[in-house]
Structure 1
Amino acid sequence: MGKKRKNKGGGGDEDARKRRFGGGDVEGARVVLNYDEDCGRGNNKPVTSGPMDAEFGQRVAFPGLDNVDRGVDSIDNGPPLSVEDYLRTVKTEASSRPSFVVAKDKAVRPVVPPGRGVLRSYEQHQAEDDGIPHGRQIKKTTRRPVAPVEIDGNWAVLFLEQFSRTKEDISRGLARVETLNEVELPQTFSKWRQFVLSPENAPHLSLLKRLDHALVVKLIGYCHKWVSSKMAPELAQWIYSLLVLLPDTVIGDDVSTLRELAKKCIQVKQNPHWPLNPVTAYTLDMVITIVARYYKQLDLLQGDPYN
Protein backbone atom coordinates (compact mmCIF):
# COMPACT_ATOMS: atom_id res chain seq x y z
CA MET A 1 0.00 0.00 0.00
CA GLY A 2 3.02 2.25 0.25
CA LYS A 3 3.99 1.95 -3.42
CA LYS A 4 3.38 4.91 -5.65
CA ARG A 5 1.67 4.52 -8.99
CA LYS A 6 3.47 6.02 -11.95
CA ASN A 7 1.62 7.79 -14.75
CA LYS A 8 3.08 7.06 -18.16
CA GLY A 9 0.98 9.72 -19.85
CA GLY A 10 -1.43 9.65 -22.78
CA GLY A 11 -3.68 6.65 -23.13
CA GLY A 12 -1.86 4.87 -20.35
CA ASP A 13 -3.71 6.94 -17.74
CA GLU A 14 -7.10 5.99 -19.15
CA ASP A 15 -6.14 2.34 -19.48
CA ALA A 16 -4.95 2.34 -15.88
CA ARG A 17 -8.23 3.78 -14.74
CA LYS A 18 -10.14 1.10 -16.59
CA ARG A 19 -8.08 -1.64 -15.01
CA ARG A 20 -8.44 -0.04 -11.58
CA PHE A 21 -12.21 0.07 -11.72
CA GLY A 22 -12.74 -3.24 -13.48
CA GLY A 23 -14.08 -1.89 -16.75
CA GLY A 24 -14.32 1.07 -19.07
CA ASP A 25 -16.26 3.38 -16.78
CA VAL A 26 -13.70 6.17 -16.80
CA GLU A 27 -16.25 8.73 -15.65
CA GLY A 28 -17.02 6.52 -12.68
CA ALA A 29 -13.33 6.46 -11.89
CA ARG A 30 -13.28 10.22 -11.55
CA VAL A 31 -15.19 9.98 -8.31
CA VAL A 32 -11.91 8.87 -6.72
CA LEU A 33 -9.76 11.89 -6.01
CA ASN A 34 -7.82 12.68 -9.16
CA TYR A 35 -5.78 15.62 -8.00
CA ASP A 36 -3.53 15.55 -11.06
CA GLU A 37 -6.51 16.74 -13.08
CA ASP A 38 -8.49 18.70 -10.48
CA CYS A 39 -5.50 20.75 -9.39
CA GLY A 40 -4.41 21.78 -12.87
CA ARG A 41 -1.10 20.01 -12.62
CA GLY A 42 1.44 21.18 -15.15
CA ASN A 43 0.56 24.88 -15.24
CA ASN A 44 2.08 27.75 -13.33
CA LYS A 45 -1.06 28.82 -11.47
CA PRO A 46 -1.17 28.64 -7.67
CA VAL A 47 -2.55 25.21 -6.82
CA THR A 48 -5.31 24.70 -4.31
CA SER A 49 -7.05 21.36 -4.64
CA GLY A 50 -10.38 19.94 -5.67
CA PRO A 51 -13.39 21.88 -7.01
CA MET A 52 -15.11 24.62 -5.03
CA ASP A 53 -18.09 23.59 -2.88
CA ALA A 54 -20.91 25.91 -3.95
CA GLU A 55 -22.61 25.69 -0.57
CA PHE A 56 -19.66 26.27 1.75
CA GLY A 57 -17.26 28.13 -0.56
CA GLN A 58 -14.32 25.84 0.26
CA ARG A 59 -12.24 23.27 -1.61
CA VAL A 60 -13.74 19.87 -1.02
CA ALA A 61 -11.74 17.03 0.46
CA PHE A 62 -13.61 14.43 -1.57
CA PRO A 63 -14.44 16.00 -4.97
CA GLY A 64 -16.58 14.18 -7.48
CA LEU A 65 -19.21 12.90 -5.05
CA ASP A 66 -21.97 14.70 -6.97
CA ASN A 67 -20.67 13.98 -10.46
CA VAL A 68 -21.51 10.31 -10.78
CA ASP A 69 -25.05 9.08 -11.30
CA ARG A 70 -25.32 6.43 -8.61
CA GLY A 71 -28.26 5.85 -6.35
CA VAL A 72 -27.48 6.56 -2.72
CA ASP A 73 -30.23 4.17 -1.74
CA SER A 74 -27.88 1.28 -2.51
CA ILE A 75 -26.52 1.61 1.02
CA ASP A 76 -29.86 0.33 2.32
CA ASN A 77 -29.13 -3.09 0.82
CA GLY A 78 -26.07 -3.64 3.00
CA PRO A 79 -22.63 -2.15 3.52
CA PRO A 80 -21.50 -0.63 0.20
CA LEU A 81 -18.07 -1.43 -1.11
CA SER A 82 -17.47 2.04 -2.47
CA VAL A 83 -16.15 4.64 -0.06
CA GLU A 84 -17.49 7.25 -2.47
CA ASP A 85 -21.04 5.84 -2.28
CA TYR A 86 -20.81 6.03 1.48
CA LEU A 87 -19.52 9.60 1.52
CA ARG A 88 -22.12 10.65 -1.04
CA THR A 89 -24.87 9.25 1.16
CA VAL A 90 -23.44 11.02 4.19
CA LYS A 91 -23.23 14.29 2.28
CA THR A 92 -26.82 13.94 1.07
CA GLU A 93 -28.10 13.38 4.60
CA ALA A 94 -26.00 16.25 5.93
CA SER A 95 -27.33 18.67 3.30
CA SER A 96 -30.91 17.83 4.28
CA ARG A 97 -30.30 18.83 7.89
CA PRO A 98 -30.84 22.42 9.11
CA SER A 99 -27.74 24.60 9.05
CA PHE A 100 -28.37 25.92 12.54
CA VAL A 101 -29.62 24.11 15.61
CA VAL A 102 -30.33 25.35 19.11
CA ALA A 103 -28.13 23.62 21.65
CA LYS A 104 -28.95 23.15 25.30
CA ASP A 105 -27.03 25.29 27.75
CA LYS A 106 -24.03 23.48 29.15
CA ALA A 107 -21.41 24.43 31.67
CA VAL A 108 -18.36 25.99 30.05
CA ARG A 109 -15.34 23.73 30.34
CA PRO A 110 -11.83 25.11 30.84
CA VAL A 111 -9.53 25.51 27.86
CA VAL A 112 -7.18 22.61 27.25
CA PRO A 113 -3.62 23.63 28.22
CA PRO A 114 -1.19 24.11 25.34
CA GLY A 115 1.02 21.23 24.28
CA ARG A 116 -0.50 19.85 21.09
CA GLY A 117 2.95 18.84 19.95
CA VAL A 118 3.22 16.20 22.68
CA LEU A 119 1.36 12.92 22.25
CA ARG A 120 -0.64 12.15 25.37
CA SER A 121 -3.21 9.49 26.09
CA TYR A 122 -6.90 10.20 25.60
CA GLU A 123 -7.51 9.83 29.34
CA GLN A 124 -5.13 12.73 29.98
CA HIS A 125 -6.86 14.94 27.46
CA GLN A 126 -10.27 14.03 28.81
CA ALA A 127 -9.23 14.76 32.38
CA GLU A 128 -8.07 18.23 31.37
CA ASP A 129 -11.21 18.97 29.40
CA ASP A 130 -13.42 17.85 32.27
CA GLY A 131 -11.75 20.31 34.57
CA ILE A 132 -10.14 17.84 36.96
CA PRO A 133 -7.58 19.76 39.06
CA HIS A 134 -3.96 18.85 38.56
CA GLY A 135 -2.72 16.33 41.11
CA ARG A 136 -6.13 14.92 42.02
CA GLN A 137 -6.34 11.16 41.71
CA ILE A 138 -8.66 10.06 38.91
CA LYS A 139 -10.81 7.07 39.73
CA LYS A 140 -10.48 4.47 36.99
CA THR A 141 -13.53 2.51 35.98
CA THR A 142 -13.38 -1.16 35.08
CA ARG A 143 -14.07 -1.63 31.39
CA ARG A 144 -16.21 -4.52 30.32
CA PRO A 145 -14.60 -6.87 27.80
CA VAL A 146 -15.84 -6.58 24.24
CA ALA A 147 -16.80 -9.71 22.35
CA PRO A 148 -15.24 -10.01 18.88
CA VAL A 149 -17.54 -9.04 16.03
CA GLU A 150 -18.05 -10.64 12.63
CA ILE A 151 -17.40 -8.54 9.52
CA ASP A 152 -17.75 -10.01 6.04
CA GLY A 153 -14.19 -10.86 4.99
CA ASN A 154 -14.64 -10.38 1.24
CA TRP A 155 -16.23 -6.98 1.72
CA ALA A 156 -13.50 -5.93 4.15
CA VAL A 157 -10.67 -6.84 1.77
CA LEU A 158 -12.19 -4.88 -1.11
CA PHE A 159 -13.06 -1.94 1.14
CA LEU A 160 -9.49 -1.68 2.43
CA GLU A 161 -8.16 -1.61 -1.13
CA GLN A 162 -10.23 1.50 -1.77
CA PHE A 163 -9.34 2.95 1.62
CA SER A 164 -5.63 2.62 0.80
CA ARG A 165 -6.11 4.38 -2.53
CA THR A 166 -8.07 7.15 -0.85
CA LYS A 167 -5.24 7.68 1.66
CA GLU A 168 -2.78 8.09 -1.21
CA ASP A 169 -5.06 10.53 -3.04
CA ILE A 170 -5.69 12.60 0.08
CA SER A 171 -1.96 12.72 0.80
CA ARG A 172 -1.29 14.13 -2.66
CA GLY A 173 -4.10 16.64 -2.27
CA LEU A 174 -2.88 17.88 1.10
CA ALA A 175 0.57 18.50 -0.38
CA ARG A 176 -0.95 20.97 -2.85
CA VAL A 177 -3.83 22.58 -0.99
CA GLU A 178 -3.73 25.99 0.69
CA THR A 179 -4.27 26.07 4.46
CA LEU A 180 -7.56 27.56 5.64
CA ASN A 181 -6.29 29.85 8.40
CA GLU A 182 -9.40 31.96 8.88
CA VAL A 183 -11.27 29.18 10.69
CA GLU A 184 -10.55 29.19 14.42
CA LEU A 185 -10.08 25.68 15.77
CA PRO A 186 -11.74 24.80 19.09
CA GLN A 187 -9.73 24.16 22.24
CA THR A 188 -12.06 22.03 24.37
CA PHE A 189 -13.93 18.74 24.15
CA SER A 190 -17.37 20.38 24.10
CA LYS A 191 -16.36 23.05 21.58
CA TRP A 192 -14.90 20.42 19.27
CA ARG A 193 -18.16 18.49 19.43
CA GLN A 194 -20.09 21.58 18.34
CA PHE A 195 -17.53 22.22 15.61
CA VAL A 196 -17.61 18.69 14.19
CA LEU A 197 -21.41 18.49 14.21
CA SER A 198 -21.81 21.82 12.41
CA PRO A 199 -22.50 21.46 8.65
CA GLU A 200 -20.41 24.60 8.06
CA ASN A 201 -17.29 22.77 9.27
CA ALA A 202 -17.22 19.87 6.84
CA PRO A 203 -13.72 18.30 6.68
CA HIS A 204 -12.42 20.10 3.60
CA LEU A 205 -8.81 19.59 2.57
CA SER A 206 -7.78 23.10 3.57
CA LEU A 207 -9.16 22.45 7.05
CA LEU A 208 -7.70 18.96 7.36
CA LYS A 209 -4.25 20.33 6.53
CA ARG A 210 -4.29 22.28 9.81
CA LEU A 211 -4.61 19.12 11.90
CA ASP A 212 -1.25 17.80 13.05
CA HIS A 213 -0.83 14.19 14.11
CA ALA A 214 -1.31 14.84 17.82
CA LEU A 215 -4.58 16.66 17.20
CA VAL A 216 -5.82 13.92 14.85
CA VAL A 217 -5.24 11.30 17.55
CA LYS A 218 -6.88 13.52 20.14
CA LEU A 219 -9.98 13.96 17.97
CA ILE A 220 -10.18 10.21 17.34
CA GLY A 221 -10.25 9.83 21.11
CA TYR A 222 -13.06 12.37 21.28
CA CYS A 223 -14.98 10.44 18.61
CA HIS A 224 -14.91 7.45 20.95
CA LYS A 225 -17.19 9.45 23.23
CA TRP A 226 -19.45 10.64 20.42
CA VAL A 227 -20.11 7.29 18.71
CA SER A 228 -23.69 6.14 19.25
CA SER A 229 -26.47 4.26 17.49
CA LYS A 230 -27.74 7.59 16.14
CA MET A 231 -24.65 9.22 14.66
CA ALA A 232 -24.99 12.45 12.73
CA PRO A 233 -23.71 12.33 9.13
CA GLU A 234 -21.31 15.17 9.96
CA LEU A 235 -19.66 12.99 12.60
CA ALA A 236 -19.41 10.10 10.14
CA GLN A 237 -17.57 12.32 7.66
CA TRP A 238 -15.12 13.49 10.31
CA ILE A 239 -14.40 9.98 11.61
CA TYR A 240 -13.57 8.77 8.12
CA SER A 241 -11.41 11.82 7.40
CA LEU A 242 -9.44 11.44 10.63
CA LEU A 243 -8.74 7.77 9.92
CA VAL A 244 -7.57 8.67 6.42
CA LEU A 245 -5.10 11.18 7.91
CA LEU A 246 -3.39 8.61 10.13
CA PRO A 247 -0.07 7.19 8.91
CA ASP A 248 0.24 3.52 8.05
CA THR A 249 2.40 2.87 11.12
CA VAL A 250 1.36 4.26 14.51
CA ILE A 251 2.84 4.07 18.01
CA GLY A 252 1.38 2.10 20.90
CA ASP A 253 -0.55 5.00 22.42
CA ASP A 254 -2.22 5.67 19.08
CA VAL A 255 -3.13 2.00 18.71
CA SER A 256 -4.73 2.14 22.15
CA THR A 257 -6.83 5.13 21.07
CA LEU A 258 -7.88 3.32 17.89
CA ARG A 259 -8.81 0.20 19.82
CA GLU A 260 -11.02 2.18 22.19
CA LEU A 261 -12.85 3.69 19.22
CA ALA A 262 -13.28 0.27 17.59
CA LYS A 263 -14.48 -1.31 20.83
CA LYS A 264 -17.08 1.43 21.24
CA CYS A 265 -18.26 0.75 17.69
CA ILE A 266 -18.50 -2.97 18.46
CA GLN A 267 -20.53 -2.26 21.60
CA VAL A 268 -22.95 -0.06 19.66
CA LYS A 269 -23.18 -2.60 16.83
CA GLN A 270 -23.92 -5.48 19.19
CA ASN A 271 -26.20 -3.61 21.61
CA PRO A 272 -27.73 -0.58 19.87
CA HIS A 273 -30.08 1.60 21.90
CA TRP A 274 -32.01 2.39 18.73
CA PRO A 275 -32.27 0.73 15.30
CA LEU A 276 -29.15 1.63 13.31
CA ASN A 277 -29.65 3.83 10.27
CA PRO A 278 -27.65 2.89 7.14
CA VAL A 279 -24.95 5.54 7.59
CA THR A 280 -24.38 4.63 11.24
CA ALA A 281 -24.26 0.90 10.47
CA TYR A 282 -21.73 1.45 7.70
CA THR A 283 -19.61 3.79 9.85
CA LEU A 284 -19.40 1.18 12.61
CA ASP A 285 -18.29 -1.54 10.17
CA MET A 286 -15.85 0.87 8.55
CA VAL A 287 -14.12 1.79 11.82
CA ILE A 288 -13.95 -1.82 13.02
CA THR A 289 -12.51 -2.98 9.69
CA ILE A 290 -9.86 -0.25 9.53
CA VAL A 291 -8.70 -0.76 13.11
CA ALA A 292 -8.84 -4.57 13.06
CA ARG A 293 -7.42 -5.23 9.61
CA TYR A 294 -5.47 -2.15 8.50
CA TYR A 295 -3.85 -1.71 11.92
CA LYS A 296 -3.69 -5.47 12.64
CA GLN A 297 -5.89 -5.61 15.74
CA LEU A 298 -7.35 -8.93 14.60
CA ASP A 299 -8.50 -10.00 18.06
CA LEU A 300 -11.43 -7.62 17.57
CA LEU A 301 -12.81 -9.84 14.81
CA GLN A 302 -14.70 -13.08 15.26
CA GLY A 303 -13.33 -16.30 13.77
CA ASP A 304 -10.75 -16.33 10.99
CA PRO A 305 -10.50 -12.70 9.79
CA TYR A 306 -9.18 -13.81 6.40
CA ASN A 307 -12.17 -15.99 5.52
Structure 2
Amino acid sequence: MNTVITLANRPEGRPKTSDFNFETEKKPSPQEGEVLLETKYVSVDPYMRGRMSDAESYVAPFELGKPIEGGIVAKVVESKKENLTEGDYVSGRLDWKEYQVSDGEGLMKVDPEAAPLSAYLGILGMTGLTAYMGLLEIGKPKEGETLVVSGAAGAVGSVVGQIGKIKGCRVVGIAGSDEKVELLKSKFGFDGGINYKTTEDMGAVIAEACPNGVDIYFDNVAGEISDGVHQHINQFGRIVNCGAIAHYNATSMPMGPRVEPMLIKKSALMQGFIVGNYEEKFPEAVKQLAQWLGEGKLEHSETIVEGFDNIPQAFLDLFDGKNKGKMVVQV
Protein backbone atom coordinates (compact mmCIF):
# COMPACT_ATOMS: atom_id res chain seq x y z
CA MET A 1 0.00 0.00 0.00
CA ASN A 2 0.93 3.64 -0.43
CA THR A 3 0.53 6.46 2.15
CA VAL A 4 -0.75 9.86 0.99
CA ILE A 5 -1.12 13.13 2.92
CA THR A 6 -4.16 15.19 1.93
CA LEU A 7 -5.65 18.51 3.00
CA ALA A 8 -8.48 17.80 5.45
CA ASN A 9 -9.55 21.37 6.29
CA ARG A 10 -8.86 24.95 5.33
CA PRO A 11 -7.30 26.39 8.50
CA GLU A 12 -8.56 29.45 10.29
CA GLY A 13 -5.44 31.16 11.58
CA ARG A 14 -2.57 28.86 12.43
CA PRO A 15 -2.74 25.37 10.84
CA LYS A 16 -3.05 22.28 13.05
CA THR A 17 -2.20 18.62 12.61
CA SER A 18 -5.94 17.94 12.26
CA ASP A 19 -5.87 19.91 8.98
CA PHE A 20 -4.00 16.99 7.42
CA ASN A 21 -5.23 13.47 6.66
CA PHE A 22 -3.16 10.33 6.19
CA GLU A 23 -4.77 8.02 3.65
CA THR A 24 -3.76 4.76 2.01
CA GLU A 25 -4.14 3.73 -1.58
CA LYS A 26 -2.84 0.99 -3.81
CA LYS A 27 0.80 1.42 -4.81
CA PRO A 28 0.74 2.59 -8.45
CA SER A 29 2.45 1.01 -11.45
CA PRO A 30 3.92 3.02 -14.33
CA GLN A 31 2.47 2.85 -17.83
CA GLU A 32 4.41 3.37 -21.03
CA GLY A 33 6.17 6.74 -20.92
CA GLU A 34 5.99 6.94 -17.11
CA VAL A 35 8.23 6.31 -14.12
CA LEU A 36 7.50 5.08 -10.60
CA LEU A 37 9.06 7.41 -8.03
CA GLU A 38 9.91 6.75 -4.39
CA THR A 39 9.95 9.90 -2.25
CA LYS A 40 13.28 10.48 -0.50
CA TYR A 41 13.24 14.13 0.66
CA VAL A 42 10.32 16.52 1.09
CA SER A 43 10.56 20.31 1.32
CA VAL A 44 8.21 22.14 3.71
CA ASP A 45 7.94 25.88 3.11
CA PRO A 46 6.02 28.82 4.63
CA TYR A 47 4.37 29.73 1.31
CA MET A 48 2.36 26.49 1.54
CA ARG A 49 0.22 28.14 4.21
CA GLY A 50 -1.22 30.43 1.55
CA ARG A 51 -2.16 27.48 -0.62
CA MET A 52 -4.16 25.96 2.23
CA SER A 53 -6.62 28.88 1.94
CA ASP A 54 -9.15 29.16 -0.86
CA ALA A 55 -7.97 32.58 -1.95
CA GLU A 56 -6.77 33.99 -5.23
CA SER A 57 -2.98 34.02 -5.42
CA TYR A 58 -0.09 33.47 -7.79
CA VAL A 59 -0.61 29.70 -7.53
CA ALA A 60 -3.79 27.63 -7.21
CA PRO A 61 -4.87 26.61 -3.70
CA PHE A 62 -4.61 23.02 -2.54
CA GLU A 63 -7.86 21.11 -3.03
CA LEU A 64 -9.68 19.65 -0.05
CA GLY A 65 -9.34 15.88 0.09
CA LYS A 66 -6.55 15.91 -2.49
CA PRO A 67 -2.79 15.34 -1.93
CA ILE A 68 -0.69 18.29 -0.89
CA GLU A 69 2.20 18.96 -3.24
CA GLY A 70 5.59 20.57 -2.89
CA GLY A 71 9.25 20.23 -3.69
CA ILE A 72 10.44 16.63 -3.55
CA VAL A 73 13.55 14.66 -4.40
CA ALA A 74 12.62 11.14 -5.46
CA LYS A 75 14.31 7.99 -6.71
CA VAL A 76 13.26 6.28 -9.93
CA VAL A 77 12.42 2.72 -8.88
CA GLU A 78 10.83 1.60 -12.16
CA SER A 79 10.99 3.27 -15.54
CA LYS A 80 9.10 2.96 -18.80
CA LYS A 81 10.47 6.25 -20.05
CA GLU A 82 13.50 6.58 -22.33
CA ASN A 83 15.47 9.35 -20.65
CA LEU A 84 15.08 8.10 -17.05
CA THR A 85 16.40 4.82 -15.71
CA GLU A 86 16.03 2.89 -12.49
CA GLY A 87 18.30 4.39 -9.82
CA ASP A 88 18.16 7.94 -11.16
CA TYR A 89 17.25 10.75 -8.77
CA VAL A 90 14.96 13.61 -9.76
CA SER A 91 13.56 16.76 -8.17
CA GLY A 92 10.30 18.48 -8.93
CA ARG A 93 6.92 19.55 -7.64
CA LEU A 94 5.25 16.32 -6.60
CA ASP A 95 2.53 15.03 -4.30
CA TRP A 96 3.07 14.15 -0.64
CA LYS A 97 3.01 10.42 -1.37
CA GLU A 98 5.45 7.66 -0.56
CA TYR A 99 5.21 6.43 -4.17
CA GLN A 100 3.77 8.05 -7.29
CA VAL A 101 3.95 7.81 -11.05
CA SER A 102 5.02 10.66 -13.31
CA ASP A 103 5.28 11.26 -17.02
CA GLY A 104 8.49 13.18 -16.33
CA GLU A 105 7.03 16.63 -17.01
CA GLY A 106 8.69 19.20 -14.75
CA LEU A 107 11.25 16.76 -13.34
CA MET A 108 14.95 17.61 -13.23
CA LYS A 109 17.55 14.89 -12.92
CA VAL A 110 19.93 15.55 -10.01
CA ASP A 111 23.38 14.19 -9.25
CA PRO A 112 23.84 12.72 -5.74
CA GLU A 113 27.61 12.78 -6.27
CA ALA A 114 27.73 16.54 -6.91
CA ALA A 115 25.86 17.56 -3.75
CA PRO A 116 23.73 15.98 -1.01
CA LEU A 117 20.27 15.17 -2.34
CA SER A 118 18.62 17.48 0.18
CA ALA A 119 20.60 20.42 -1.25
CA TYR A 120 18.46 20.24 -4.40
CA LEU A 121 15.51 21.34 -2.25
CA GLY A 122 17.56 24.10 -0.67
CA ILE A 123 20.60 25.97 -1.81
CA LEU A 124 20.60 24.40 -5.31
CA GLY A 125 16.82 24.43 -5.55
CA MET A 126 14.04 26.95 -5.10
CA THR A 127 15.56 28.27 -1.87
CA GLY A 128 18.84 29.24 -3.47
CA LEU A 129 17.12 30.52 -6.59
CA THR A 130 14.75 32.69 -4.53
CA ALA A 131 17.66 34.26 -2.66
CA TYR A 132 19.72 34.75 -5.81
CA MET A 133 16.97 36.22 -7.97
CA GLY A 134 15.42 38.44 -5.34
CA LEU A 135 18.68 39.96 -4.18
CA LEU A 136 20.39 40.37 -7.54
CA GLU A 137 17.41 41.27 -9.74
CA ILE A 138 15.63 43.62 -7.31
CA GLY A 139 18.12 44.43 -4.55
CA LYS A 140 20.97 45.06 -7.01
CA PRO A 141 23.68 45.09 -4.32
CA LYS A 142 26.74 47.28 -4.70
CA GLU A 143 30.03 47.02 -2.86
CA GLY A 144 30.03 48.92 0.41
CA GLU A 145 26.24 49.02 0.81
CA THR A 146 24.37 47.84 3.91
CA LEU A 147 22.03 44.89 3.49
CA VAL A 148 19.54 43.89 6.20
CA VAL A 149 17.87 40.47 6.02
CA SER A 150 14.87 39.42 8.11
CA GLY A 151 14.26 35.72 8.68
CA ALA A 152 18.01 35.60 8.22
CA ALA A 153 18.60 32.19 9.80
CA GLY A 154 16.01 30.59 7.56
CA ALA A 155 16.55 28.81 4.28
CA VAL A 156 16.34 31.84 1.99
CA GLY A 157 17.67 34.46 4.38
CA SER A 158 20.92 32.66 5.15
CA VAL A 159 21.71 32.42 1.43
CA VAL A 160 20.75 36.06 0.79
CA GLY A 161 23.22 37.24 3.41
CA GLN A 162 26.05 35.17 1.97
CA ILE A 163 25.44 36.40 -1.57
CA GLY A 164 25.41 39.92 -0.16
CA LYS A 165 28.85 39.30 1.33
CA ILE A 166 30.13 37.91 -1.99
CA LYS A 167 28.94 41.17 -3.58
CA GLY A 168 30.82 43.25 -1.01
CA CYS A 169 27.97 44.38 1.24
CA ARG A 170 27.93 44.84 4.99
CA VAL A 171 25.21 42.40 6.10
CA VAL A 172 23.04 42.48 9.23
CA GLY A 173 20.62 39.64 9.91
CA ILE A 174 17.48 39.50 12.05
CA ALA A 175 16.63 36.15 13.65
CA GLY A 176 14.68 34.70 16.58
CA SER A 177 17.29 33.59 19.12
CA ASP A 178 20.78 34.41 20.34
CA GLU A 179 21.88 31.00 19.05
CA LYS A 180 20.65 31.83 15.56
CA VAL A 181 22.29 35.27 15.65
CA GLU A 182 25.60 33.65 16.58
CA LEU A 183 25.15 31.15 13.73
CA LEU A 184 24.65 34.00 11.26
CA LYS A 185 28.01 35.45 12.22
CA SER A 186 30.06 32.29 12.80
CA LYS A 187 28.82 30.13 9.91
CA PHE A 188 27.33 32.46 7.32
CA GLY A 189 29.69 35.43 7.66
CA PHE A 190 27.13 38.11 8.58
CA ASP A 191 28.65 41.26 10.05
CA GLY A 192 25.98 41.66 12.70
CA GLY A 193 22.78 40.14 14.02
CA ILE A 194 19.64 41.12 15.93
CA ASN A 195 17.44 38.86 18.07
CA TYR A 196 13.99 40.27 17.42
CA LYS A 197 12.47 38.33 20.32
CA THR A 198 14.54 40.30 22.84
CA THR A 199 14.24 43.63 20.99
CA GLU A 200 11.61 46.07 22.20
CA ASP A 201 12.37 48.90 19.76
CA MET A 202 13.44 47.50 16.39
CA GLY A 203 13.92 50.97 14.91
CA ALA A 204 16.41 51.95 17.61
CA VAL A 205 18.34 48.69 17.32
CA ILE A 206 18.53 48.99 13.52
CA ALA A 207 19.92 52.51 13.93
CA GLU A 208 22.65 51.14 16.18
CA ALA A 209 23.43 48.13 13.98
CA CYS A 210 23.35 50.13 10.73
CA PRO A 211 24.95 53.53 11.46
CA ASN A 212 25.07 54.33 7.73
CA GLY A 213 21.43 53.40 7.19
CA VAL A 214 19.98 50.55 5.14
CA ASP A 215 20.52 50.40 1.38
CA ILE A 216 18.81 47.03 0.78
CA TYR A 217 16.23 45.30 2.93
CA PHE A 218 15.44 41.69 2.01
CA ASP A 219 12.15 41.09 3.79
CA ASN A 220 11.03 37.55 4.62
CA VAL A 221 8.67 38.39 7.48
CA ALA A 222 6.83 41.78 7.18
CA GLY A 223 5.02 43.04 10.29
CA GLU A 224 6.56 45.07 13.09
CA ILE A 225 10.10 43.93 12.31
CA SER A 226 9.87 45.49 8.87
CA ASP A 227 8.26 48.64 10.24
CA GLY A 228 11.44 49.18 12.26
CA VAL A 229 13.74 48.60 9.30
CA HIS A 230 11.77 50.91 7.00
CA GLN A 231 12.56 53.84 9.30
CA HIS A 232 16.20 53.66 8.22
CA ILE A 233 16.03 53.07 4.46
CA ASN A 234 18.55 55.23 2.63
CA GLN A 235 17.99 57.42 -0.40
CA PHE A 236 17.35 55.17 -3.42
CA GLY A 237 17.10 52.14 -1.12
CA ARG A 238 15.60 48.87 -2.33
CA ILE A 239 13.12 46.75 -0.35
CA VAL A 240 12.73 43.18 -1.62
CA ASN A 241 9.42 41.64 -0.49
CA CYS A 242 9.99 37.89 -0.51
CA GLY A 243 7.81 36.65 2.36
CA ALA A 244 5.35 37.81 4.99
CA ILE A 245 5.28 35.00 7.54
CA ALA A 246 4.13 37.43 10.24
CA HIS A 247 0.77 37.65 8.44
CA TYR A 248 0.30 34.13 7.05
CA ASN A 249 -1.86 32.93 9.93
CA ALA A 250 -3.70 36.22 10.49
CA THR A 251 -7.50 36.05 10.19
CA SER A 252 -7.60 39.75 9.29
CA MET A 253 -4.94 42.03 7.89
CA PRO A 254 -3.34 44.05 10.72
CA MET A 255 -2.83 47.78 10.26
CA GLY A 256 0.70 49.09 10.37
CA PRO A 257 2.58 52.27 9.45
CA ARG A 258 1.91 53.58 5.96
CA VAL A 259 4.98 53.10 3.78
CA GLU A 260 4.14 55.60 1.01
CA PRO A 261 5.64 58.69 2.68
CA MET A 262 8.89 56.84 3.33
CA LEU A 263 9.07 55.54 -0.25
CA ILE A 264 8.49 59.04 -1.65
CA LYS A 265 10.85 60.80 0.73
CA LYS A 266 13.65 58.33 0.08
CA SER A 267 12.95 57.68 -3.63
CA ALA A 268 13.00 54.03 -2.55
CA LEU A 269 11.86 50.94 -4.41
CA MET A 270 9.66 48.27 -2.81
CA GLN A 271 8.94 45.25 -4.97
CA GLY A 272 7.40 41.88 -4.32
CA PHE A 273 8.27 38.82 -6.40
CA ILE A 274 7.92 35.09 -6.80
CA VAL A 275 10.86 33.08 -8.00
CA GLY A 276 8.95 31.83 -11.05
CA ASN A 277 9.13 35.36 -12.48
CA TYR A 278 12.74 34.61 -13.39
CA GLU A 279 12.41 31.04 -14.65
CA GLU A 280 14.36 31.74 -17.84
CA LYS A 281 17.39 32.65 -15.70
CA PHE A 282 17.35 29.50 -13.55
CA PRO A 283 20.08 27.59 -15.46
CA GLU A 284 22.65 30.39 -15.12
CA ALA A 285 21.66 30.93 -11.49
CA VAL A 286 22.06 27.25 -10.55
CA LYS A 287 25.41 27.20 -12.32
CA GLN A 288 26.62 30.22 -10.33
CA LEU A 289 25.28 28.89 -7.02
CA ALA A 290 26.95 25.52 -7.62
CA GLN A 291 30.23 27.27 -8.45
CA TRP A 292 30.11 29.34 -5.25
CA LEU A 293 29.22 26.23 -3.27
CA GLY A 294 32.13 24.30 -4.80
CA GLU A 295 34.51 27.17 -4.07
CA GLY A 296 33.47 27.22 -0.41
CA LYS A 297 31.92 30.69 -0.71
CA LEU A 298 28.48 29.43 0.32
CA GLU A 299 27.52 27.45 3.40
CA HIS A 300 24.11 25.87 3.73
CA SER A 301 22.28 24.84 6.85
CA GLU A 302 19.52 22.27 7.09
CA THR A 303 17.11 21.00 9.70
CA ILE A 304 16.33 17.44 8.67
CA VAL A 305 13.33 15.68 10.21
CA GLU A 306 13.07 11.91 9.84
CA GLY A 307 9.97 10.10 8.66
CA PHE A 308 7.12 10.53 6.18
CA ASP A 309 4.62 10.66 9.06
CA ASN A 310 6.35 13.77 10.43
CA ILE A 311 5.89 15.95 7.32
CA PRO A 312 2.88 17.91 8.69
CA GLN A 313 4.56 18.58 12.04
CA ALA A 314 7.74 19.72 10.31
CA PHE A 315 5.63 22.20 8.34
CA LEU A 316 3.95 23.48 11.51
CA ASP A 317 7.33 23.84 13.21
CA LEU A 318 8.27 26.50 10.65
CA PHE A 319 5.87 28.90 12.37
CA ASP A 320 7.72 28.43 15.66
CA GLY A 321 11.11 29.04 14.05
CA LYS A 322 12.34 25.54 14.92
CA ASN A 323 14.36 25.35 11.72
CA LYS A 324 17.91 26.51 11.21
CA GLY A 325 18.23 26.96 7.47
CA LYS A 326 16.14 24.77 5.18
CA MET A 327 13.53 22.49 6.77
CA VAL A 328 13.55 19.12 4.99
CA VAL A 329 11.94 15.78 5.79
CA GLN A 330 13.93 12.65 4.98
CA VAL A 331 11.62 9.76 4.20
TM-score by length of structure 1 reads 0.22
Q: Please state which structure has a larger fraction of its residues in strand.
A: 2
Q: Please state which structure has a larger fraction of its residues in helix.
A: 1
With a CA cutoff of 8 Å and minimum separation of 6, indicate the structure with the bigger relative contact order. Answer: 1
